[in-house]
């Protein structure tokens, strides 16, 4: 799919004077593909966290379950603080984040947070995570720092796969951050500006590790903030074995090429 197929809904025309999201300082980027059930719940919970200057950018890839239409409704409900980027067809998590990051930077956001739509990332952690950016360049919500963890319902086998997969990626890239594949992170705008998001190459699962690698290479101060990753309770995972294998190859290549 080309970028030409992208459309942007900045919310209700009635609120057009605010629709550039220009006064919002904290932008939450949420990529969605078939998350109709959880997206409204996520947005409701995040807005209950009393975060000053809060705004949302949802990047939907033409979800067949109608998530895009739900996001448009939310854009009207939260007029002035909610934008939807509609892309045609599933184009991968990485490019969705790249589009969201760029839009947030263009809107003047000072702090930018990436977060999944499936409620695996608890909104209650947000204020603490964003607060870390008072001192840090990047704040990683981390499963593998003291106080962090994974859903107690996970089997022993599932924990091992997740843990050792993470260890493998850290070794391949030489990463210091303990949660290398974390998809719940906050950035100062200057951090995103300095990793040049248009030069990121990985589009799928490896994207998070590539971002971690670029931040480390740029010498940023990265802190980890503990949280417990919860299994999604609705919708289905977009993760496939092929995506994981592809990520390992691409990340190895990234380390060799630098």
Ligand X SMILES: Nc1nc2c(ncn2[C@@H]2O[C@H](COP(=O)(O)OP(=O)(O)OP(=O)(O)O)[C@@H](O)[C@H]2O)c(=O)[nH]1
Given the rule CB under 6 A, which residues bind ligand X? 31-33, 35, 59-61, 90-93, 96, 116-118, 120, 232, 237-239
61 binds Mg ion (CB under 5 A): no
Give least dist CB 93 to ligand X, A: 4
Q: How many CB atoms lie within 10 A of CB 127?
A: 13
Q: Using CB under 5 A, pick the residue from 34, 63, 120, 203 that binds Mg ion.
A: 120
How many residues in the shown chain lie near Mg ion by CB under 5 A?
3
Structure tokens at 61: 């890839």
* H or E element that contains 128: helix 126-132
34 binds Mg ion (CB under 5 A): no
Please tell me the distance from the alpha carbon of residue 240 to that of residue 41, in angstroms, as a whole number: 26
Q: Which does 61 bind (CB under 5 to 8 A by kind): Mg ion, ligand X, none?
A: ligand X
Q: Which does 96 bind (CB under 5 to 8 A by kind): Mg ion, ligand X, none?
A: ligand X
60 binds Mg ion (CB under 5 A): no
Q: Is 3 exposed, middle or buried (0-12, 13-18, 19+ CB in 10 A)?
A: exposed
* Contact range with Mg ion by CB under 5 A, out of 48-56, 120-128, 159-167, 209-217: 120-128
> What residue ranges in the chain does DSSP mark as E strands?
7-9, 26-32, 54-60, 82-86, 111-114, 138-142, 149-150, 185-188, 222-226, 228-229
Residue numbers of the site for Mg ion (CB under 5 A)?
116, 118, 120
């Amino acid at each position: 799919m080309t970028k030409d197929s992208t459309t942007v809904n900045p919310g209700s025309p009635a609120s057009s004077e605010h629709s550039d999201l220009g006064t919002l300082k904290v932008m939450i980027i949420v990529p969605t593909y078939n998350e109709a059930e959880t997206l409204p719940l996520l947005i409701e919970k995040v807005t209950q966290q009393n975060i000053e200057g809060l705004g949302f950018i949802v990047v939907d890839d033409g979800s067949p379950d109608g998530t895009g239409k739900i996001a448009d409704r939310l854009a009207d409900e939260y007029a002035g603080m909610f934008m939807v980027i509609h892309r045609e067809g599933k184009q991968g998590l990485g490019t969705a984040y790249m589009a969201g990051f760029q839009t947030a930077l263009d809107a003047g956001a000072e702090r930018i947070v990436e977060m999944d739509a499936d409620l695996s990332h608890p909104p209650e952690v947000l204020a603490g995570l964003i607060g870390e950016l008072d001192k840090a360049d990047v704040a990683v919500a981390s499963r593998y720092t003291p106080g962090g963890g994974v859903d107690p319902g996970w089997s022993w086998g599932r924990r091992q796969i997740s843990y050792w997969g993470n260890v493998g990626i850290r070794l391949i890239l030489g990463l210091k951050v303990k949660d290398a594949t974390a998809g719940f992170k906050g950035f100062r705008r200057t951090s995103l500006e300095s990793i040049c998001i248009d030069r990121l190459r990985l589009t799928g699962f490896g994207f998070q590790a590539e971002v971690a690698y670029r931040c480390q290479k740029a010498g940023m101060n990265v802190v980890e903030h503990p949280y417990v990753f919860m299994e999604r309770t609705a919708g289905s995972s977009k993760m496939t074995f092929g995506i994981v294998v592809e990520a390992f190859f691409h990340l190895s290549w990234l380390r060799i090429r630098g």
